[in-house]
Structure 1
Amino acid sequence: MLTTSQLIQIRRDLHQIPEVALQEHDTKQYLLKVIQQFDQQFLQIKTVPELPTALLVRVQGKQPKKTIGYRADIDGLPVKEKTGLAFSSKNEGKMHACGHDIHMTVALGILNYFSEHQPQDNLLFFFQPAEESKNGGKLAYEQGVFAGEWRPDEFFALHVTPDLPTGTIGCRNGTLFAGAAEINIDLYGQDGHAAYPQRANDMVVAAAALISQIQTIVARSIDPIESGVITIGKVRAGTIRNAIAGHAHLEGTLRGLTQTMIEQIEKRLREVTAGIGQSFAARAEIEINQGGYWPVENDPKITAEFIDYMKNNPAVKYQETEPAMTGEDFGYLLAKIPGTMCWLGVEDDSQPHSATFNPQESAIEAGIKAIVGFFEEHM
């Protein structure tokens, strides 16, 4: 079994080599090196030519009735680290600022345990590239990675959070993470001189009207008991103060707690954009990209069992959590394969995606023990 010091060293090694989406080659090689040191009696390793940084490991069960999947994301972020840690990132401008180094270490600890203690059911570990961007889970699913004996009947995953005490397992039935989609809007009118507005068609004014109208979608088209968010975070128009802009470009994001709600928001957003285009005699183009960032909707039956185990195990610190508006591409996999995602508390003053995020390493063993214990009971 991996010792506490070995687990911490693995985490620190991984922390030093962050790589962004679909470029996780060194990370994959490190994972392979560690896994190849485990007892191989029950293990089968699979790589994917179509998704070269992905890695799958199958553990053969004693008397399997199903295959239980466990996913760990492996990519880092384009963030320049400012933690000052002795094991800070060696890759300039890249950092494991979302805790995926912790995710991988927990997964390796779980895999190591079951490589030495053959499980009742089959286990499938999916070390997934490109969670932060390029929706690696969706890519893997669409490329047929989960076929035959490599298809899990259930899928599980965890995500670190600094908002829970170290080692605490947080979960809820229903939506854990919101779904997210990118919005790109272009408005085309006619540029001209600021002194002759009647000879131009001002897209700054059209963009202002559109932004105001967008704010009514959640306020007036979404059930107030539910939750949704639309944020326009970037607006670009014009080149100089005394010229009317004939083009405006807007970028933003929309988020919702269910896929149905996201589709409803998207429909209204397209209608409002088209309406502004018509009312301002402008050409309006809108592009909405959701990819694999669907809401993480936990399966009711499986999650009820998961929560029951965590609540009633005296060795586990458990806390019911509220939905988060952050996105996670595990939602796409849960839309195809039932399962559960949970939080692992890592107690830090900094938030994920920040340059100073520094999760508590003592959470690693707590996460491993909680998931191993649940899997053994679940089988």
Structure 2
Amino acid sequence: MPILNRVAELLPEIVAWRRDIHAHPELGFDEHRTSAFVAERLREFGCDEIVTDFGKTGVIGVIRGERAASNAKVIGLRADMDALPIEEVTGLPYASKNNGVMHACGHDGHTAMLLGAARYLSETRNFAGTAVLIFQPAEELGVGAVAMIQDRLMDRFGIEQVFGMHAFPGLPIGTFGISQGPTMAATDEIEIRVEGHGGHPGRPHECIDSIHVGAQLIVAMQQILAQNVSPVDSAGLSFHLFHSGNTQRIIPQTAELRGSMRTLTPEVRQLIKKRVGEVVAGIAQVTGARIDLTIQDSDAVVFNHAVPTKLALHAAKDVAGENSVLETPPVMVGEDFSFMAQARPGAFIWCGNGNSAGLHNPAFDFNDEAIPYGTSYWIKLVENTLGS
């Protein structure tokens, strides 16, 4: 079916919401203005129940359908609200007004599309059961979903299935991407502190060079993927920070390294963790440095369950057409929706953002042309799943 006529009518308003949120980005658990904006819109729409400060700064909106049903269901629709600590370079009229913070991952669009669906569903209520709209904080910190679950999100509202959606740069506008099974990676944060022995570069034999030790660690850990992980298994291990020393003519005493590992199966995840520990221990023994390793679990694998995936696929095809819903392979980014899909059967879908800058890029902007498709997807998902 084409885009819903009412969604087309609402489009200028939804775009205005999106751009207002974009201009006022807030980091995880600091989304006070955004949460207030969302809650005020939900009140205007006449949602049956609105809960603020849920999972610290999250917002819940509940809309009950008016169609009769012998066994009414409850589903959750989730959008994330937080921004990233990135300086925006788009130069757009609605660019971030908060220095060093921007919506570089499309959460402004996610929030606006779910608000648009809330507006429509509150007006029509052409479904049975209950739609629970979840406006989640702190996705970029990997802890917002957990905070909401700890506030008894699933039990308090009786959610039986949960659904998420995310903009996807490079996927054409008007298309969706989804597949059953693992769809996004588990991410684990790696922190390493090297304690060597600083000294004069003219007497290196009296030192333990922390830069040299750190370099050995990085090279050796890349070999883990090449030599220990099967070529048919997806995995990633990269370092994002390497800091040692602050001046010339001194071999530095310490070095700090931070990175992440990304995997799609528990077996590969545990294998890489084990090998990282063994590499650290071996290089510490060879070099004489003290090396402290911390591996912090972050997002789990986002796993699309069979029944919710079929429901999401059906709704997407209703909106975009049979040939515009693609089977997408897993991607090695993390998403804390994973914890919601562990708590209840769930499905996560990609919404095409067209030829835009990539996610987490200072030139990224959510494409407003995607709004009618994402908003209509949410509506059809509710009306199809809670049809009777």
- Is the TM value for this pair above 0.5? yes
1:346 is the counterpart of 2:362: no
SS of 2:45's equivalent in the other structure is coil
Match of 2:3 in 1: none
Work out which of the residue numbers 268, 293, 306 in structure 1 matches 2:312.
Answer: 306
| 2: CA distance, partners of 1:73 / 1:100 | 6
Letter in 2 for 1:59: I
Letter in 1 for 2:288: A
1:60 is the counterpart of 2:64: yes
**What is the deviation of 1:309?**
4.8
1:48 is the counterpart of 2:53: yes
Q: 1:230 to 1:189 in 2, by over 3 A?
A: same
| 1: CA distance, partners of 2:366 / 2:216 | 43
**What is the deviation of 1:139?**
2.0
SS of 1:34's equivalent in the other structure is helix
State the Cα deviation string for residues 235-280 of structure 1 (Å, max 9, x = none). 2223455433332221111111234432332222122112211222
Would you say how many aligned residue pairs link Structure 1 and Structure 2? 374
Q: 1:314 to 1:83 in 2, by over 3 A?
A: closer
SS of 1:341's equivalent in the other structure is strand
Alignment check: 8 A CA contact 1:21 1:75 kept: yes
Question: Gaps spanning 5+ residues in structure 1: where?
Answer: none
Match of 2:245 in 1: 238
SS of 1:192's equivalent in the other structure is coil
**What is the deviation of 1:345?**
0.8
TM-score (norm 1): 0.91
TM-score (norm 2): 0.89
| 1: CA distance, partners of 2:320 / 2:153 | 38
Alignment check: 8 A CA contact 2:77 2:132 kept: yes
**What is the deviation of 1:34?**
1.0
Match of 1:289 in 2: 296
Work out which of the residue numbers 169, 172, 175 in structure 1 matches 2:179.
Answer: 172
| 2: CA distance, partners of 1:349 / 1:169 | 16
Q: 1:44 to 1:211 in 2, by over 3 A?
A: same
Work out which of the residue numbers 230, 252, 274 in structure 2 matches 1:267.
Answer: 274
| 2: CA distance, partners of 1:311 / 1:125 | 22
Q: 1:112 to 1:276 in 2, by over 3 A?
A: same
Alignment check: 8 A CA contact 2:39 2:52 kept: no
Bigger shift: residues 253-262 or 364-373: 253-262
* Percent of aligned positions that are identical: 32
| 2: CA distance, partners of 1:314 / 1:378 | 17
Alignment check: 8 A CA contact 1:347 1:359 kept: no
1:13 is the counterpart of 2:20: yes
Alignment check: 8 A CA contact 1:48 1:145 kept: no
| 2: CA distance, partners of 1:248 / 1:354 | 28
Letter in 1 for 2:61: V
| 1: CA distance, partners of 2:103 / 2:136 | 14
**What is the deviation of 1:192?**
2.7
| 1: CA distance, partners of 2:101 / 2:168 | 20
State the 4+ residue runs in structure 1 displaced beyond 6 angstroms: none
| 2: CA distance, partners of 1:127 / 1:83 | 26
**What is the deviation of 1:378?**
2.1
Bigger shift: residues 223-232 or 312-321: 312-321
SS of 2:368's equivalent in the other structure is coil
Alignment check: 8 A CA contact 2:35 2:58 kept: yes
Match of 1:71 in 2: 78
| 1: CA distance, partners of 2:203 / 2:23 | 58
**What is the deviation of 1:88?**
2.1
Q: 1:314 to 1:167 in 2, by over 3 A?
A: closer
SS of 1:231's equivalent in the other structure is strand
Aligned Cα root-mean-square deviation (Å): 2.2
Query: Matches of residues 1-379 of structure 1 in structure 2 within 5 Å?
Result: 3-40=10-47, 43-48=48-53, 51-61=55-65, 62-63=68-69, 64-118=71-125, 119-148=127-156, 150-291=157-298, 293-311=299-317, 315=321, 317-379=324-386
Alignment check: 8 A CA contact 1:80 1:355 kept: yes
| Structure in which a larger fraction of residues adopt helix | 2
Alignment check: 8 A CA contact 1:346 1:360 kept: yes
Alignment check: 8 A CA contact 1:258 1:297 kept: no
| 2: CA distance, partners of 1:98 / 1:369 | 21
| 2: CA distance, partners of 1:76 / 1:36 | 24
Bigger shift: residues 261-270 or 12-21: 261-270
Bigger shift: residues 138-147 or 124-133: 138-147
**What is the deviation of 1:233?**
2.5
| 1: CA distance, partners of 2:201 / 2:95 | 52
